[in-house]
Amino acid sequence: MAKYNNMTLDPETLAAQALGWEDEVTGAVIPAISLSTTFTRGDDYSARDNGTYLRDHGPTQKHAEAVICELEGGTDALAFGSGMAACTAPFHALEKGAHMAVSSVIYHGVLSWLKHFAEQRGISYTLYRAGDLDRLAHVLKQKPTGLVWLETPSNPTWAITDIRATSELAHSHGALVAVDSTVATPVLTRPLELGADLVCHAATKYLNGHSDVLGGMLVTGDASNPLWKRIRQHRLYAGSMMGAMDAYLLVRGMRTLYLRVRRQCDSALAIAKFLDGHPAVEQVFYPGLESDSGHEIASRQMQGGYGGMISILVPGGRDEAIEVAKRARLFKRATSLGGVESLIEHRKTSESDVTDTAQNLLRLSIGIESVDDLMADLDQMLGNS
DSSP secondary structure string for all residues of 163-217: HHHHHHHHHHTT-EEEEE-TTTHHHH--GGGGT-SEEEEETTTTTT-SS----EE
Q: What is the DSSP letter of 114?
A: I
Tell the smallest beta-carbon distance from residue 129 to ligand PLP (Å). 18
* CA-closest candidate to residue 335, choices 204, 216, 208: 204
Q: Which of residues 214 and 227 has its CB atom nearest to ligand PLP in the complex?
A: 214
Evaluated on CA atoms 126, 113, 71, 256, the torsion sign reads negative
| Residue closest to ligand PLP when measured from CB atoms | 83
In the complex, least distance from residue 67 CB atom to ligand PLP, rounded to whole angstroms: 18
* Residue 104 neighbours by CB under 8 Å, 6+ apart: 111, 127, 128, 129, 130
CB closer to ligand PLP, 19 vs 114: 114
84 vs 247: CA distance, rounded Å: 16
Kindly tell me which of 126 and 336 has the beta carbon lying closer to ligand PLP: 336
Closest approach, Cβ 106 to ligand PLP, in A, equals 7
The smaller minimum CB distance to ligand PLP, of residues 31 and 209, is found at 209
| Minimum separation from the CB atom of position 345 to ligand PLP (A) | 10
Among residues 216 and 294, whose Cβ is nearest to ligand PLP? 216
Of 175, 221, 215, the residue nearest 198 (C-alpha):
221
* Euclidean distance between CA atoms 142 and 134, whole angstroms: 12
Interacting residues with ligand PLP (CB under 6 A):
82-84, 87, 107, 109, 151, 155, 180, 182, 202, 204, 214, 216, 336
- Nearest approach in angstroms of CB 56 to ligand PLP is 21
Amino acid identity, position 97:
G
Residue 372 burial (CB < 10 Å; 0-12/13-18/19+)? exposed
Query: What minimum distance in Å lies between the beta carbon of 182 and ligand PLP?
Result: 4
Query: Exposed, middle or buried: residue 18 (CB in 10 Å: 0-12, 13-18, 19+)?
Result: buried
- φ/ψ (deg, to 5) at 86: -70, -45
Give 167 or 182: the residue with its C-beta nearer to ligand PLP.
182
> Smallest gap, in angstroms, from Cβ of residue 332 to ligand PLP?
15
Residue closer to ligand PLP (CB basis): 76 or 151:
151
